[in-house]
Structure 1
Amino acid sequence: MSALRAIMDKMQYKNTTHPPLGQNIFHDEFVTSVYITPPTTDEKVSTMPDGLRMVLGIFLFVVFAVGIAGNLTVIWVFSRTRSLRTPHNVLIINLACSDLLMVFSMFPVMFISIAKNKWIMGEIGCDVYAFLGSLFGIASLCILTAIAYDRRCAICTTTDGSGTGSYRRVFFLTVVAWVYSFLWSVLPLSGKGAFVLEGYKLNCSFDYVTQTLENKLYVGFLFAGAFFIPMTIIMYSYTRVVLAVKQSRQSLLDMSKVKTTLVVRTFKIHKRQVKNFETAKIGMKLITMFVLSWGPYACVAFIGQFVSPTLVFPIIQLIPVVMAKSASVWNPIVYAISHRRFKRELRGIFLEKCCQGMPTVDETSATGSYTGEFFNDFNDLNCNDSKASTAV
């Protein structure tokens, strides 16, 4: 019996995932080395099913085409239109540039890897790929944070409600966002954490599976510094914006009984605040789509590092990764649906290039109809006040 045990221990069950005879299956060292060791770039062939590869390849191609076209359109329209070249929209252009670089650097490599059923970039390529994905992903969230902070400053701190920002403030916020993102992304290249292949070994990201103190510290600080702190700033900023606009409207309602110069001035301030609030609502939609896209990936990484890495299967890793990378295409769609001036300018450019001779939307009339809604609200307040006085 002892001879059999010695032979079995010597063989070490090299072709199976069971522990050697007599070794506890729950031994930490064995579980770490066999069950939850992250894949390395030496493992060439992917185990992704063919059907899933085909579906994912088609999806990536569509998202790549939409992301390139959409973000280029945003950059082009905001850059060529003088009325849209405002300090606030500089942040919008930066966000579009970050999304464009994310799509351009991530999707072709992953698409080709899926087509060849193996990672094509090697170990150094894995580091570069993961670094760029981390840089542009964190940069997008930081720029969204800068947009929220800029809207709060514009609406809550200006005394006249004009909401005009300054290029100096926007330039400062932009530099801080990119430098902050670079610092978090470069840490794994300097030995604090690591970049590895994940899931079906067709995509590289930071290592959230290996159970080491260094990895836990990096992932924990990454969650706090690159996700929770920006989200807290965003929630606080937009909460202040909503409360400021609500308070302004309440002040207008209280003062509507007296027709004085102060009432007219208060109404103008409120009108400007509401106009800027429309811009802030676009930022709220952008951050909502960002959280919906990146939230599942953040949850998977948290589970893999702090709950149980054995719960993180390849398919569970794959779906959140694809959702996170597709966040780059939502911003142009939100602008096309919600941004009035962007839609008006894009329609005008399209009619000018493709349908010459056809009438375009008159910007003056559009602005007049937009502001007319607020004057109607002001008149309604006065009418209601008159009816109440008559009733008394």
Structure 2
Amino acid sequence: MILPNVSVNGCAGVNSAVCAGAGEGHLGGGSDRINLTPTGHLVVAVCLGFIGTFGLVNNLLVLVLFCRYKILRSPINLLLINISISDLLVCVLGTPFSFAASTQGRWLIGEKGCVWYGFANSLFGIVSLITLAVLSYERYSTMMAPTEADSSNYRKISLGISVSWVYSLVWTLPPLLGWSHYGPEGPGTTCSVDWTSKTANNISYIICLFVFCLAVPFLVIVFCYGKLLCAIRQMSGISASKSRKCEQRVLFMVVIMVICYLLCWLPYGIMALLATFGPPGLVTPEASIIPSVLAKTSTVINPVIYVFMNKQFYRCFHTLLHCEAPRQGSTLKSSSKVPTKALRGVAVTAPRCSKDFLFMVASLGRPDAALPQLGPSVEPTINITKAPSSDINKPVVVSLVAHFNG
């Protein structure tokens, strides 16, 4: 997790975790590190309390729904669960310690605890970011190659989840091995990577962390969702008004995702670069604590955007609240006579809009549920980009549209 580390009085060395003076064996015990007023610490503690509580409840609820309803146990939903698990771990292993430190105005669990906090929060934060990028790529790739979509194929998704954790470890272990280091930051109530040391060792790590753990995931998300929007605009076979409604709704989802990503993480990147390359004291502890709180709000926002705005999860949530039995097969229907248009050599199913918010194959928020049995009324759609064949035994391309009834 990218946190702008601003230590005062030149605490930038390897042992900066204890340079501020320890009171009763705790970090940040010296008064020179406590630069927030008691009211300021109280405000931060209240914000962290709300974030930790709602983040814990939201992500636990996602896991309960996933475990309770089989219809949610699809490959692409595993990516959503991976995000919820990483966010839940932040709420359990990170936020309580910074909350307690804010209530007391100082770090409470010592130097090793500070290093652990910095490592764990960075690890889980980067896992969440990388998974968001993998999710956007999965939706894009399924959209562009629907003939290869397989609701029972967990192998690719499992690989994506493994990559997110390994990739995060690659960038969070180096500070434990000597490439930069973890220590106190801001007013001394949280810990992260040291952003103020001007050594080549530290600056090189910060540049790599910014590029590969913030900029790259953001570019992947923008590229993939941008391509999805372009594909929607090129669809034919539906009326102009309905096409505009579909486009506007998907555009709304994309804009919300991108804005929330930037709101949560961009302030960290900006503050980190200012603290790293700016003059000493440019970023005050008061200013650095705001991006820290904003980034932790991602643990609350991610479940809302990526899960509870998903119609299938929402229906299961509604069923859970009313203690009803889940309605099997009510969230995915086959579509007959669905027009297609060749898009870069691939037959892509055109979306249809009505009062319901319908997602096309691999559209935003579409979970891969169990495919329904094709009845006699379902007409297969032939991939027009391939040359005709006289072999009647070759399988045809079947296009399905997921219907999320409101």
Specify the TM-score bucket, using the shorter chain as the normaliser: 0.7 to 0.9
Per the alignment, do residues 235 and 191 of structure 1 end up closer, same or farther by CA in structure 2, a change over 3 Å counting?
same
Distance 2:161 2:307 in 1: 24
Which residue of structure 2 aligns with residue 87 of structure 1?
Answer: 75
Distance 1:236 1:165 in 2: 26
- In the TM superposition, what is the alpha-carbon distance from 1:70 to its structure 2 partner? 0.5
Letter in 2 for 1:212: T
Letter in 1 for 2:17: T
Distance 1:339 1:118 in 2: 41
Which residue of structure 2 aligns with residue 109 of structure 1?
Answer: 97
Where relative contact order (Cα < 8 A, 6+ residues apart) is larger, the structure is 2
The alignment of Structure 1 onto Structure 2 pairs a total of residues equal to 318
- Check if 1:179 corresponds to 2:166: yes
Per the alignment, do residues 167 and 367 of structure 1 end up closer, same or farther by CA in structure 2, a change over 3 Å counting?
closer
Which residue of structure 2 aligns with residue 152 of structure 1?
Answer: 140
Distance 1:68 1:34 in 2: 33
Which residue of structure 2 aligns with residue 20 of structure 1?
Answer: none
Which residue of structure 2 aligns with residue 296 of structure 1?
Answer: 267
Per the alignment, do residues 314 and 58 of structure 1 end up closer, same or farther by CA in structure 2, a change over 3 Å counting?
same
Instruction: Identify the range of structure 1 (280-289 vs 186-195) with the bigger mean alpha-carbon deviation.
Output: 280-289
- In the TM superposition, what is the alpha-carbon distance from 1:159 to its structure 2 partner? 3.5
Per the alignment, do residues 236 and 118 of structure 1 end up closer, same or farther by CA in structure 2, a change over 3 Å counting?
same
- Check if 1:341 corresponds to 2:301: no
Give secondary structure in 2 for the equivalent of 1:196.
strand
Q: Which has the higher helix share?
A: 1
Per the alignment, do residues 238 and 376 of structure 1 end up closer, same or farther by CA in structure 2, a change over 3 Å counting?
closer
Which residue of structure 2 aligns with residue 239 of structure 1?
Answer: 226
From 14, 17, 21, give the equivalent of 1:40. Answer: 17
- In the TM superposition, what is the alpha-carbon distance from 1:367 to its structure 2 partner? 6.2
Distance 1:364 1:347 in 2: 16
Give secondary structure in 2 for the equivalent of 1:200.
coil
Give secondary structure in 1 for the equivalent of 2:17.
coil
The sequence identity of aligned pairs, in percent, is: 28
Q: Is this contact kept in 1: 2:69–2:316, CA < 8 A?
A: yes
Give secondary structure in 1 for the equivalent of 2:179.
coil
From 87, 99, 106, give the equivalent of 1:118. Answer: 106
Per the alignment, do residues 343 and 286 of structure 1 end up closer, same or farther by CA in structure 2, a change over 3 Å counting?
same
List alignment gaps of at least 5 residues for structure 2. 1-6, 21-28, 339-350, 356-406
Which residue of structure 2 aligns with residue 326 of structure 1?
Answer: 297
List alignment gaps of at least 5 residues for structure 1. 1-32, 257-269, 378-392
Q: Is this contact kept in 1: 2:119–2:172, CA < 8 A?
A: yes
Give secondary structure in 2 for the equivalent of 1:40.
helix
Distance 1:220 1:188 in 2: 14
Distance 2:45 2:212 in 1: 33
Letter in 2 for 1:76: V
- In the TM superposition, what is the alpha-carbon distance from 1:106 to its structure 2 partner? 1.2
Per the alignment, do residues 318 and 139 of structure 1 end up closer, same or farther by CA in structure 2, a change over 3 Å counting?
same
Q: Is this contact kept in 1: 2:127–2:164, CA < 8 A?
A: yes
- Check if 1:374 corresponds to 2:343: no
- In the TM superposition, what is the alpha-carbon distance from 1:288 to its structure 2 partner? 3.3
Give secondary structure in 2 for the equivalent of 1:288.
helix
- The CA deviation string for residues 65-103 of structure 1, in whole angstroms up to 9 with x for no partner, is 111110000111123211111100000000000000011
Per the alignment, do residues 97 and 148 of structure 1 end up closer, same or farther by CA in structure 2, a change over 3 Å counting?
same
Q: Is this contact kept in 2: 1:57–1:114, CA < 8 A?
A: yes
Instruction: Identify the range of structure 1 (324-333 vs 141-150) with the bigger mean alpha-carbon deviation.
Output: 324-333
- In the TM superposition, what is the alpha-carbon distance from 1:179 to its structure 2 partner? 0.3
- What is the TM-score when the length of structure 2 is the normalising length? 0.70
Which residue of structure 1 aligns with residue 117 of structure 2?
Answer: 129
Letter in 2 for 1:109: F
- In the TM superposition, what is the alpha-carbon distance from 1:185 to its structure 2 partner? 0.5
From 170, 175, 198, give the equivalent of 1:211. Answer: 198
Give secondary structure in 1 for the equivalent of 2:82.
helix
Letter in 2 for 1:63: I
Per the alignment, do residues 361 and 194 of structure 1 end up closer, same or farther by CA in structure 2, a change over 3 Å counting?
closer
- What is the TM-score when the length of structure 1 is the normalising length? 0.73
Q: Is this contact kept in 1: 2:275–2:283, CA < 8 A?
A: yes
Give secondary structure in 1 for the equivalent of 2:192.
strand
Q: Is this contact kept in 2: 1:144–1:287, CA < 8 A?
A: no
Which residue of structure 2 aligns with residue 14 of structure 1?
Answer: none
Residues 273-284 of structure 1 correspond to what in structure 2 (within 5 A)? Answer: none
Per the alignment, do residues 83 and 279 of structure 1 end up closer, same or farther by CA in structure 2, a change over 3 Å counting?
farther
Residues 185-224 of structure 1 correspond to what in structure 2 (within 5 A)? Answer: 185-224=172-211
- Check if 1:56 corresponds to 2:44: yes
Give secondary structure in 2 for the equivalent of 1:311.
coil
Which residue of structure 2 aligns with residue 5 of structure 1?
Answer: none
- In the TM superposition, what is the alpha-carbon distance from 1:122 to its structure 2 partner? 1.3
Q: Is this contact kept in 2: 1:148–1:237, CA < 8 A?
A: yes
- The CA deviation string for residues 137-159 of structure 1, in whole angstroms up to 9 with x for no partner, is 11100000110111011111223
- In the TM superposition, what is the alpha-carbon distance from 1:337 to its structure 2 partner? 5.0
Distance 1:79 1:34 in 2: 47
- In the TM superposition, what is the alpha-carbon distance from 1:285 to its structure 2 partner? 3.7
Distance 1:310 1:88 in 2: 45
Letter in 2 for 1:374: R
- In the TM superposition, what is the alpha-carbon distance from 1:363 to its structure 2 partner? 6.7
Which residue of structure 2 aligns with residue 230 of structure 1?
Answer: 217
